[in-house]
Structure 1
Amino acid sequence: MYKPIKSIQLPDADVVVWKYLDLSKFLDMLLCRKMFMARSDKFEDQYEGTFSEPTFEELKRIAADKPEFLDTYKNMRKNVVVSSWHINTYESYAMWQIFTKNNEGLAIQSTVGRLQQALAPEQKYEQHIGAVKYIDYKKEYIPFDDDFFPFLFKRKSFQYEREVRIISNLTKYDLNINEGVKIDVDINTLIERIYIHPKSENWYKNLVIQLMQQLGFDFIIEKSDLESDILI
């Protein structure tokens, strides 16, 4: 079930978002009809879910009389799960390079509105959507009056990600989360178009098309703009 995050402005519903992933993860999504959400402390960025220096100094002052205060935030990182999407009107060459390997992989094109609509209303985990803000962690302050704020701020070095996140805090469910969890989604609503890696071989493109047809999906498959012929 989708719920907005207070004090976080979400991009307009028609804003285009992308997820770049390899074929195995894409097929897992189609077969399970579920979306994977990764445990927040498993991301490569070690600052994920932490606070900036000005905020941390304030938290330490509060924790002087309440030692358990900081432990609450440390433990939360193990129980918050995230699905990351990239805001961009067009394909991103950099995202292909970062999230796919060996000239293989796919990009799912969707919109913020589709993300909201695709989240199944009947499941027990609440999902929240917010756009990440990129700040100077040495100078700027991160509010902590909402549990999700530490997961919606990142260092300026990551501005290229232009990230929108689906977030769930599963602390109250007392789960043993390993790498993450899978949540129910309406796959046909979630996915508007599919782009196959622009440098992939024809056999790979045909394989992706055949697999989707066999699984009963008929997504629009677009030719990558990065694959266009040179005009000269």
Structure 2
Amino acid sequence: MRLKKNHISCDVTLKEDLLLMRYMDLPKFIDMIRTGKLYLTSAVDFNDQLEGTLPESIRDSFLNDPEVVAAYGNLPIQEREYLNKIRTNISCWTKGTADNMALWKIYGGSKQSVAVMTTLNKIVQSAISWKNISSVALKDVIYIDHSGILPDGVYSLSPETFGLKHEAYSFENEVRIVITRDNNKTPSPMRLPIAINSFIEKIIVAPEAGAWFFDMVKDLSEKYGITAPVENSKLTRLVNHRDKINRKGV
């Protein structure tokens, strides 16, 4: 998808109708549908210490770039990377509609969790209305060996740095919304408005959640006027079948 609209850019490898899923726990889901806003974490808060760092193969050329020197002076590279993280907020999404049990456990956080489905175009339509930010970049994450050779491309501190992730995380198959706020001085999360009913394509309930939780998610959706359908995960039937076998074996 070729896009350069005002403050929004999008990697050309991403298609307008691409379906995306975000796994989340119940409090995050309630926060989204109650406020009609998308939560973006500060890049400072990522657990992966390689997030937002420059791969070894381009560090020297980056440090000697005249534009970089003009922007950062003689600051050590670690300080430049940290300053870049401070002004960056990110929302991570998974490409496609196939369930991933590992992602349910990592990002759902418990058996009682949900995934929200949307499309790339719906994110773009929401981003058009976002104010007081320097840029919105939709990044098709590339998984790399940070000590190896990079794929062809132009790499800088932001937002390109956050379109790179260590190959150990390739199972996440991510697309990222990367927000830059040049005037941001301290790391902080942010919430940006979305037209919630047009934004959410579908709500998926975790495979191990149980019928009571499915009903609760439907009730919550109705309470906040959400019109998107609520469905069980495609893995639910397999999980239920496994549980029946286990009970018979007891």
Match 1:83 to one of 91, 97, 100:
91
| Alpha-carbon offset, residue 226 of structure 1 | 0.7
The one-letter code sitting in structure 1 at the alignment partner of 2:175 is V
| Alpha-carbon offset, residue 49 of structure 1 | 0.7
Aligned to 1:171: 182
**Percentage of pairs with the same residue:** 22
The one-letter code sitting in structure 2 at the alignment partner of 1:213 is E
Any residues of structure 2 matched to 1:106-117 within 5 Å, and which? Answer: 106-117=114-125
Aligned to 1:227: 236
| Alpha-carbon offset, residue 145 of structure 1 | 4.7
Aligned to 1:67: 74
Cα separation, 1, equivalents of 2:206 and 2:62: 45
| Alpha-carbon offset, residue 187 of structure 1 | 1.3
Contact 2:217 / 2:230 at 8 angstroms: preserved in 1? no
TM-score (norm 1): 0.87
Q: Per-residue displacement from partner, 1:168-218 (whole Å, max 9, x unpaired)?
A: 11122x35333x111111112221000111111222221111111111112
Aligned to 1:104: 112
> Number of aligned pairs?
228
2:143 paired with 1:134: yes
**Relative contact order: is structure 1 or structure 2 higher (C-alpha 8 Å, sep ≥ 6)?**
1
| Alpha-carbon offset, residue 118 of structure 1 | 2.7
Cα separation, 2, equivalents of 1:64 and 1:223: 52
Any residues of structure 2 matched to 1:1-232 within 5 Å, and which? Answer: 3-5=8-10, 8-61=11-64, 66-68=73-75, 70=77, 71-121=79-129, 123-125=131-133, 126-141=135-150, 143-145=154-156, 147-172=158-183, 174-178=184-188, 180-228=189-237
Q: Per-residue displacement from partner, 1:93-117 (whole Å, max 9, x unpaired)?
A: 2211211233110011112122212
Contact 1:132 / 1:165 at 8 angstroms: preserved in 2? yes
Cα separation, 1, equivalents of 2:51 and 2:80: 15
Deviates most, 17-26 or 106-115: 106-115
| Alpha-carbon offset, residue 127 of structure 1 | 2.1
Contact 1:123 / 1:184 at 8 angstroms: preserved in 2? no
Report the CA distance shift for 1:140/1:182 in structure 2 as closer, same or farther (over 3 A).
same
Cα separation, 2, equivalents of 1:227 and 1:2: 41
Report the CA distance shift for 1:52/1:196 in structure 2 as closer, same or farther (over 3 A).
same
Cα separation, 1, equivalents of 2:82 and 2:227: 43
Aligned to 2:245: none
Cα separation, 2, equivalents of 1:228 and 1:95: 18
Report the CA distance shift for 1:197/1:215 in structure 2 as closer, same or farther (over 3 A).
same
Q: Secondary structure at the match of 1:91?
A: coil
Contact 1:87 / 1:162 at 8 angstroms: preserved in 2? yes
Gaps of 5+ in 2: 1-5, 242-250
The one-letter code sitting in structure 2 at the alignment partner of 1:123 is K
Q: What RMSD over aligned residues (CA atoms) do the two structures have, in Å?
A: 2.6
Gaps of 5+ in 1: none
Contact 1:115 / 1:190 at 8 angstroms: preserved in 2? yes
